[in-house]
Amino acid sequence: MSTAAASPSRRSLLPGFRLTMGFTLLYLCLIVIIPLMTLPVRSATMTWEALWGTVSDPRVVASYRLTIGASLVAASVNAVFGLIAAWVLVRYSFPGRRLVDSLVDLPFALPTAVAGITLTAIYAPNGWIGRFLEPYGIQVAFTRVGITLALIFIGLPFVVRTLQPVIEDLDVEVEEAATSLGATRFGVLTKVILPYLYPAWLTGFALAFARAIGEYGSVVFIAGNMPMRTEITPLLIITKLEQFDYAGATAIALVMLLMSFFLLLAINVLQGWTTRRLAN
């Protein structure tokens, strides 16, 4: 908190600090902090042994591994293709650019369950695309590949939307300067463009990753939900809730909460680093 604004002798010239800060805190409490606080409170009804037993159950651990692994792969794929998409959308003008630009946001807008059902229908062994993959022994629906695909779908906008403004900010003149100094196209890319985009790129990656970890709707349909193999952590939580094992559900949720929290903290640190480095 800013001490300059809080101390009466050095009041900020911008009015309304107390009001807006108070509102922000209230809002965060009602919407984020209090609901999340119930997680540790609920979990506290369990003994340590029971808690540890629940969160370290092999089936649960397998689901962590799958969720984190698939999310990492999906976020990586998005990082690569999202970068290319953002680059194309910013740097080139072509007919239908605005249309393509709006398409990027669709995964945000579409109910994820709809996406899941659609993906399943297309990639099932008898689906539009799945039927062509089947003869080669490639199964997408009801496998980890399908899960990753769904996570790629929902994560794409994060990378594209994080990178776009940064690419817009990267002056073409900077590339021209590097070229006239003797850099090859590859040199310009690796020494100028990527280092410049790197912090924002990481942020986009982390956002897509965080989103993928918590994703439920689009995955449950395409996953097949076989224990130990294609069962994601959010699904396990729902399963526990359906069995009225609230304490067990919240214990697993707590583990996920901690993972998400540290991830978002890392993102914020990254963003701070980006701004400091490139502050103009």
Partner 1 sequence: MSIEVKGLRKRFGGFQALDDVSFSVGQGELLALLGPSGSGKTTLLRIIAGLEHADAGTVLFDGHDAAARHPRERGVGFVFQHYALFRHMTVFENVAFGLRVRPRAERPVESEIRRKVNELLGLVQLDYLGSRYPSQLSGGQRQRVALARALAVEPKVLLLDEPFGALDARVRQELRRWLRRLHAEIHLTSVFVTHDQEEALELANRVVVMNEGRIEQDGTPDDVVEHPATPFVLNFLGQVNIFHGRVQDGTAWLGPLALEYPEHPHTEARTAAGYSRPHELDISRSDDGGGLWGTVSDVRMAGAVVKFELLDDQRSPIQVELGREQYAQIRAIIGESVYVKPRRVRVFMQEPGG
Instruction: Give the CA radius of gyration of the chain.
Output: 23
Residue with tokens 């042994």: 49
Residue with tokens 């911008």: 14
- Select the residue interacting with partner 1 from 177, 226, 228, 269 (CB under 8 A): 177
- Select the residue interacting with partner 1 from 21, 183, 238, 247 (CB under 8 A): 183
14 part of the interface to partner 1, by CB under 8 A? no
- Footprint of partner 1 on 249-278 (CB under 8 A): 277-278
**How many angstroms separate the CA atoms of 24 and 190, rounded?**
41
Question: Which residue stretch of 63-71, 75-83, 119-127, 184-192 sits at the interface with partner 1 (rule: CB under 8 A)?
Answer: 184-192
Question: Which residue stretch of 24-32, 171-179, 236-244, 260-268 sits at the interface with partner 1 (rule: CB under 8 A)?
Answer: 171-179
280 part of the interface to partner 1, by CB under 8 A? yes
DSSP 8-state secondary structure symbol assigned to residue 280? -
- Select the residue interacting with partner 1 from 124, 178, 207, 219 (CB under 8 A): 178
135 part of the interface to partner 1, by CB under 8 A? no
Burial class (CB in 10 A: 0-12, 13-18, 19+), 189: middle
Instruction: Spell out the SS3 assignment of 11-62.
Output: CCCCCCHHHHHHHHHHHHHHHHHHHHHHHHHHHCCCCHHHHHHHHCCHHHHH
187 to 226: interface string for partner 1, x by CB under 8 A: x---xx--xx------------------------------
180 part of the interface to partner 1, by CB under 8 A? yes
- Select the residue interacting with partner 1 from 44, 174, 264, 269 (CB under 8 A): 174
Which residues contact residue 4 at a Cβ distance below 8 angstroms, ignoring those fewer than 6 apart?
10, 12
83 vs 220, beta carbon nearer partner 1: 83
Q: What separation in angstroms does the CA of 3 have from each of 6, 25, 161, 218, 231? A: 5, 17, 34, 45, 49
- Select the residue interacting with partner 1 from 20, 102, 184, 268 (CB under 8 A): 184
Chain residues that interact with partner 1, rule: CB under 8 A:
171, 173-174, 176-184, 187, 191-192, 195-196, 277-280
